[in-house]
Structure 1
Amino acid sequence: MFSGSIPALVTPFRDGSFAEEEFRALVDWQIEQGSSGLVPCGTTGESSTLSNAEHHRVIEVCVEQAAGRVPVIAGCGSNDTTNAMLHLNFSRKCGATAGLVVAPYYNRPNQEGIYAHFEALTKGNDLPLVLYNVPARTVTDILPETVAALAKLPSVVAIKDASGEIDRVTDHRLACPKKFCLLSGVDELSLAFNASGGGGCISVTANVAPKLCAEFQAACQSGDYDKARELNDILYPLHKALFSDASPGPVKYALSRVIDGFPTDLRLPMTPPSEASRKAVDAALEGASLV
């Protein structure tokens, strides 16, 4: 259902408010450069600092601007099952293709609680669900056996796996239905992830280098791993630089270098990247011939 390079879009702010015009332009640019889908209101989109009204407006604008050209996987995660359902209901109503739902954070539910969270969402809404496992941020971890159980639910169609454990690609591939989509959530592991049976990446780097990321994913899908390695070598320093300080500070800075006038504003508690981080980003952008 989903494959290739799918950017986890930043949410641009200007003077404290959602910069809608810049976001619409970003959506158009991403599609023109070959991105195969879009994710508004994920972690990189600073969803944790958006009000529900802002959250829904960002999704709505993304769906409007994409206009059916690529699928939109709306960020719908919350540590509160009821609030996640609110996001899913809105996303379905406004025409999103699917909802990306992170494992409940802060509460630290056990595997039974994680399963019950997602099961409740599938019972309350038939929008296709993409599981999002990122233990470094949520503390909770959707274990492979829980993923396999959730994949049996009719509307659970994919996982964005940011566990960093490559062996889980094989675990998931062997235990889940063949149609279940396996998407990486870690750019620098995408080469190994795809070689293990993955089908793409929900990517931070694609914000800045959408064409290169799309070409990399296309090479993997065609089995041309010589070309994929060459592209990975170009992208790898950028993958690392974009996490040289707290995300999404570095990626917003990088976008301001690539797109003239792109706003770098962040919402507290996020602060601008350090000088060392900016220098790393500058060097990686130059190395990839993006500036």
Structure 2
Amino acid sequence: MMDNEITRERLNNHLEYDWFKYILFILAAVFLWVFIYSMLDKAKDYQKLDIFVTVPISNEKAQEFETDFIEYLNALDDKTVKEVNFIYHDYYDQNTIYAILATSFTTYDLVLAQEDAFRYLAASGRLVCFDFEYDFVSDRRQIKGSVFDGFEVKDGNEQITINPYLNSGDFPAYYIFDQTQKDKLSQKYEEIEISDQILDKKFGIELNALGHDILLDYAEIIEDGQPTGDYIKYYMGVINPNLSKSAGGGNKGVFNALTQPIEFKHAWDAIIFLKDNKEAYAL
């Protein structure tokens, strides 16, 4: 008959030769627990407001904006947004910027860029136009309207009216192509066939017109080695979604990713919040 009695001597022998197995088991259990917790605690796409930034900004002011904006939403009993991420990409690093624009750009919500970068993004159709009359289908919903005038959403037999995300008179200046820029763009980006309708529209708010050094240090324009007293212009706009994809790029109302409710419009709320509290984020 087999002797299976557990004795102190047998236990000590077992631990002496197999202790490493218990250590491995404990480490595996801890790793699994940390992994599961991190996955459960990770913010989902609709809980993040991701801002594509092409200029160095103040980390301090970016963190203040994140804290203040989330607190502002929570005070309105809106606890959707958990993170506001300002993610920097060097527009002049051509080894990476065009690859990013071709792949992950549409997973972002807002963009903050200097004028030449913003001009390219607008000309290439990567930004939501504020006064363009949209007419498109998203997730079987027919959507018509504009950012300034509001939208009519037809979902089966249900008709939904959405108020304007922005009021045109609320901001002192927008990004609009001037005639010189139109002519240059038509020649420079001839291969992407820029529409005349796009060239006459508004694409983003001008930060310089809101105030000086909001979120970043505005760079003075230098000519012939001398400061001119004029500053590079900076703009904030909303990124045009890829409606064929369901991941990322939400919080933009009717321009949300397919998996996100059109009620989530925090990108537009963030623009208005920045305008109303601009002094707090000036350097």
Do both share a fold (TM > 0.5)?
A: no
Q: TM-score, normalised by structure 2?
A: 0.30
* Larger Cα-atom Rg: 2
Q: Which has the higher strand share?
A: 2
Q: Which has the higher helix share?
A: 1
Q: TM-score, normalised by structure 1?
A: 0.29
